[in-house]
Every structure is written in structure tokens, then in C-alpha cells.
């Protein structure tokens, strides 16, 4: 499992985030332990109130557990991993909450601990927790016989196309794959040795180099979207400036947008608009299918919960009826029969709990299988869209290049050409 964690405050914002059903298809509060409240908002308010008696500002420790996308991980495997992490980091006995999320056919868990020890009124120290979690993550991959990501084996091998939330939202808004955008800019950087070659390589990918705010380097595409070069490359602005020089000589973003818009013919604009409408229709159809499937899955889980709840009540009554009452109950205790019945009831209770958990897991796995099939369609559509948009960027670049080649020479260009031809 990939483990990501942070020490933080802002318990109410975190509780709201964990309970969001607009971003997650399924949200399940699995456990709230060590708090008086049985909900996240109340629990994190308690943690904050206790932290006020200390100097600790980051009173929560938040952790996400993300197994491989195609693996069906049972609840008890998550629980064992959480218990191990709790012990390794010195958080044993601390109040905690566990929430399961499902989104885009992936199931993962979030755990939030209170760092404040109420007995000593001090915060539990979490020195080098990132290194410890990395080691635990490797062990979990080995124990479950999962393929270990290269970046987990060697941090230098992490995928350079990983993106931030802002980059993902920008790509989502424009209907493009953020990995494709980053890869195009990084490829242009890799084959260039200066500003001129980088600018040419960018235009080959359908981007134009421009000057952004604060004298930074940005790339502009035909849609008018702006991409920060240092962020796309994962480099500091100083490193980019060392290779590309001072951006002051470049056109501003507004000037670059005007040039691109002026060079694009009505036919090209119509082609782009038609392509976007086609993908918009396809995306809407897939989104409708996803919404319908999620609704069916939620109804199935609700039906199972209600069935199990009713069955649990019936089972509890049946077990209680087995215990003799009155004088028979007294005699039963004297003879030891009461203890034997109680032990049998406890075994039956745990057996029923295990049965219910297995039923829930089977339903979740079945639904995940259905959801993954739909997600593959969505991924295929996204890839096709990204491929077409990349092709459109290249078409726009070629059109603009042809337009420049056929433009009548200006007096300035004629004088420059004459100087080159003169002996």
C-alpha cells in the first residue's frame, strides 16, 4: 500500500473533506475509537479541545492507505496494516477514526489519530514518520505479493509526470490528461540546450513559450490555457532561468494568446469545437452510466446493511432466550451450564460477525469488478480525447507555421534578406 501522512490541524475541515460524497462514490465511517462522539466532526472537536491544554498546534495525524488499483483488499487486511502503523509510530491507544472511500473503482482508507495523550497532556512525537511509513509500505507490498512501484524502491525513480491538485483541476477543465501535458513539456526540455531550441521543441508539441507573471516562463496552448514551466518540469525557477535566460524578451501571455487566435482559421476553430462537442457527448454518456451504477451499488449496500441489522437483532434475541431465567437460571449458574451457554453464544456472535463481514466483502468485490469495467471505458475515452487534442495542437502549430511562411515579406524582412544576400 502507498502510505501518505501528515501532521495537521483544522479538524473540522478534515472531517468535512472525509465525508464528501460529491467527490467519492462510497463513504463509510468504519471506526470511531476513543472519542465520546460517534461522528467525525464531534470527534475532531474533542481532539481540538484537549489540544488547547497543550502547546501543540498540529494535534491530528492523518494517514491514507492506497492499495494497488486492481487488488481487492479485505477490511481485516486494512485493520492489520493500521494496527501495525499505530504500533510502529508510537500511537498505541490514541483515539482514532477510520474511513473508507471508493472512487473511480479504487478503494482506500483514511485514518486520523489524535496526537494528544490525555494522561500526560503532551503530543506523541512522530520523528521520521515518512521514512518509517516508506519501510512499512515496502513490507506490505512484499507480504501481499504486489508489484512494488519503482518510486517506492528508489525515490529517484518516481514518475516525473505526477501532478498537483491544481494541475489536475486545470487538465480536467480543459479535458486533457495532465500526464500528457507534463510529458510533452518535459520531452521538449530534454531535447533542448537553450531557449531557442526549447521554444522550437515546445511548438512541435503545440505549445508556445511566453512570459508569465513575476517574469516566469510559461507555455500557452491553442485553447489559451497557461502552464507553468518550472512546475511541469519539477524544477526550481532559478534552474529554468539558468537554461533559458531572462524571460523579459518573450511575449506576454496576452500577446501569445492574441497571436494564436489570429493565426487560427475559422475552419480550424470549427474542427476543434466539433471535436470537443463529440467528446463532451461521449463523456456525458459515460458519466450518466457511472451515476446510475453508483446509485444501484449504494442501494444494494443499503439493502444488505438493513438485512444484516435485522438478522443481528433476531440472533441476539435467540441467544438471550437460550439463557435460563428465574430459579432455572440460578440452578444453571450453580451447575456451570450458564457459563457453557454464554460461551457458545459468544462463539455464535463472532461467527455471525465474520459471516456478515464476508458478505459485505463479497458484495464490494462484485461491485468493484463492475465499476472497473466501466472505468476502463472512461480511461479509453480519456486517452482517445488526449490523443486527438495533441493532434489538434500539432495541426494548429503546422497551420501557424504555414501562415508565417506564406506571409508577404515586410519592409523590415526585405531589408534583412537584402543584407544577407549582399557580398
Mean pLDDT of the 165-169 span: 54
CB contact at 8 A, 60 and 28: no
Residue 261 has pLDDT above 80, yes or no: no
Residue with cell 462510497: 26
pLDDT tens digits, residue range 211-227? 887 768 898 887 778 88
Lowest-confidence segment of 26-30, 395-399, 417-421 by average pLDDT: 417-421
Dump the DSSP string for 235-276.
--HHHHHHHH--GGGSPBHHHHHHHHHHHS-HHHHHHHHHHH
CB contact at 8 A, 276 and 284: no
Closest-CA residue to 133 (of 91, 184, 192, 164): 91
Closest-CA residue to 64 (of 28, 112, 114): 112
Looking at per-residue confidence, does 413 or 68 come out higher?
68
Residue 254: per-residue pLDDT = 87
**How much of the chain, in percent, has pLDDT values that exceed 70?**
84
Residue 162 has pLDDT above 80, yes or no: no
Residue 102 has pLDDT above 60, yes or no: yes
Looking at per-residue confidence, does 310 or 246 come out higher?
310
Residue 401 has pLDDT above 70, yes or no: no
Highest mean pLDDT among 77-91, 168-182, 256-270: 77-91
Lowest-confidence segment of 74-88, 114-128, 143-157, 394-408 by average pLDDT: 394-408
- pLDDT band with cut points at 50, 70 and 90 for residue 371: very high
Closest-CA residue to 301 (of 2, 12, 25): 25
Looking at per-residue confidence, does 288 or 258 come out higher?
288
CATH topology of domain 2-157: BirA Bifunctional Protein; domain 2 (3.30.930)
Please state, in angstroms and as integers, the Cα–Cα distance from residue 136 to each residue in 3, 39, 111, 125, 183, following that order: 8, 29, 16, 18, 31
Residue 381: per-residue pLDDT = 84
What is the rounded CA–CA span in Å between residue 115 and residue 307? 38
SS3 116: strand
- pLDDT band with cut points at 50, 70 and 90 for residue 423: very low
Residue 240: per-residue pLDDT = 87
What is the rounded CA–CA span in Å between residue 131 and residue 113? 19
Retrieve residue 207's grid coordinates: 505549445
Residue 159 has pLDDT above 80, yes or no: no
Q: Cα(first)–Cα(last) distance of the chain, in Å?
A: 71
What is the rounded CA–CA span in Å between residue 186 and residue 198? 10
pLDDT tens digits, residue range 337-367? 889 999 999 999 999 999 999 999 999 999 9
> Is the pTM of the predicted complex or chain greater than 0.85?
no
SS3 content of the chain, % helix, strand, coil (to 5): 65, 15, 25
Residue 173: per-residue pLDDT = 57
Report the largest interatomic distance among the alpha carbons of the chain, rounded to a whole angstrom: 126
What is the rounded CA–CA span in Å between residue 275 and residue 395? 13
Q: Which helix (H) or strand (E) holds 211?
A: strand 208-211
Residue 62 has pLDDT above 60, yes or no: yes
Alpha-carbon dihedral sign for residues 363, 364, 365, 370: positive
- pLDDT band with cut points at 50, 70 and 90 for residue 205: confident
Retrieve residue 231's grid coordinates: 512546475
* Bridge-based pairing state of the strands 217-220 and 208-211: antiparallel
What is the rounded CA–CA span in Å between residue 227 and residue 219? 5
Looking at per-residue confidence, does 152 or 183 come out higher?
183
Residue 165 has pLDDT above 80, yes or no: no
Residue 140: per-residue pLDDT = 92
How do the domains of the chain map onto residue ranges? 2-157, 165-263, 268-405
- pLDDT band with cut points at 50, 70 and 90 for residue 169: low
Residue 160 has pLDDT above 60, yes or no: no
What is the rounded CA–CA span in Å between residue 46 and residue 95? 10
Average pLDDT, the chain: 84
Residue 183 has pLDDT above 90, yes or no: no
CB contact at 8 A, 98 and 111: yes
Residue 11 has pLDDT above 50, yes or no: yes
Mean pLDDT of the 265-271 span: 68
Residue 257: per-residue pLDDT = 84
Residue 414: per-residue pLDDT = 47
What is the rounded CA–CA span in Å between residue 310 and residue 241? 67
Residue 282: per-residue pLDDT = 84
Amino acid at each position: 500500500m502507498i502510505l501518505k501522512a501528515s501532521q495537521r490541524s483544522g479538524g473540522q475541515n478534515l472531517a468535512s473533506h472525509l465525508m464528501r460524497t460529491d467527490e467519492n462514490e462510497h463513504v463509510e465511517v468504519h471506526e470511531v475509537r476513543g472519542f465520546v462522539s460517534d461522528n467525525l466532526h464531534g470527534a475532531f472537536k474533542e481532539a481540538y479541545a484537549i489540544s488547547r491544554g497543550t502547546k501543540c498546534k498540529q494535534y491530528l495525524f492523518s494517514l491514507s492507505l492506497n492499495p494497488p488499483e486492481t487488488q481487492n483488499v479485505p477490511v481485516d487486511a486494512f485493520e492489520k496494516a493500521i494496527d501495525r502503523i499505530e504500533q510502529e509510530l508510537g500511537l498505541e491507544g490514541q483515539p482514532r477514526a477510520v474511513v473508507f472511500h471508493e472512487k473511480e473503482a479504487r478503494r482506500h482508507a483514511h485514518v486520523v489519530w489524535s496526537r494528544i495523550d490525555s494522561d500526560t497532556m503532551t503530543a506523541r512525537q512522530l520523528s521520521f514518520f515518512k521514512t518509517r511509513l516508506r519501510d512499512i509500505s515496502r513490507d506490505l507490498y512484499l507480504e501481499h505479493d504486489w508489484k512494488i512501484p519503482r518510486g517506492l524502491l528508489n525515490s529517484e525513480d518516481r514518475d516525473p509526470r505526477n501532478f498537483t491538485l491544481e494541475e489536475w483541476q486545470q487538465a480536467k477543465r480543459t479535458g486533457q490528461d495532465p500526464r500528457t501535458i507534463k510529458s510533452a513539456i518535459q520531452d521538449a526540455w530534454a531535447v533542448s540546450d537553450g531557449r531557442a531550441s526549447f521554444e522550437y521543441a515546445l511548438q512541435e508539441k503545440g505549445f508556445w513559450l511566453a512570459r508569465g507573471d513575476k517574469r516566469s516562463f510559461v507555455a500557452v496552448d491553442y485553447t489559451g490555457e497557461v502552464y507553468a514551466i518550472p512546475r511541469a518540469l519539477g524544477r526550481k525557477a532559478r534552474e529554468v532561468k539558468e537554461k533559458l535566460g531572462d524571460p523579459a524578451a518573450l511575449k506576454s501571455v496576452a500577446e501569445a494568446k492574441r497571436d494564436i487566435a489570429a493565426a487560427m482559421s475559422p475552419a480550424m476553430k470549427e474542427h476543434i469545437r466539433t471535436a470537443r462537442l463529440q467528446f463532451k457527448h461521449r463523456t456525458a454518456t459515460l458519466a450518466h452510466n457511472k451515476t446510475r451504477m453508483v446509485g444501484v451499488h449504494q442501494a444494494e449496500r443499503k439493502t444488505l446493511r438493513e438485512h444484516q441489522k435485522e438478522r443481528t437483532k433476531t440472533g441476539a434475541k435467540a441467544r438471550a432466550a437460550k439463557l435460563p431465567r428465574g430459579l432455572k437460571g440460578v440452578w444453571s449458574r450453580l451447575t456451570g451450564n450458564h457459563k457453557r451457554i454464554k460461551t457458545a453464544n459468544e462463539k455464535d456472535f463472532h461467527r455471525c460477525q465474520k459471516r456478515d463481514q464476508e458478505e459485505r466483502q463479497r458484495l464490494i468485490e462484485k461491485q468493484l469488478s463492475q465499476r472497473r469495467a466501466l472505468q476502463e471505458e472512461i480511461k479509453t475515452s480519456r486517452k482517445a480525447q488526449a490523443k486527438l487534442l495533441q493532434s489538434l495542437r500539432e495541426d494548429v502549430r503546422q497551420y501557424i507555421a504555414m501562415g508565417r511562411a506564406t506571409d508577404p515579406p515586410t519592409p523590415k524582412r526585405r531589408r534583412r534578406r537584402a543584407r544577407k544576400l549582399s557580398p
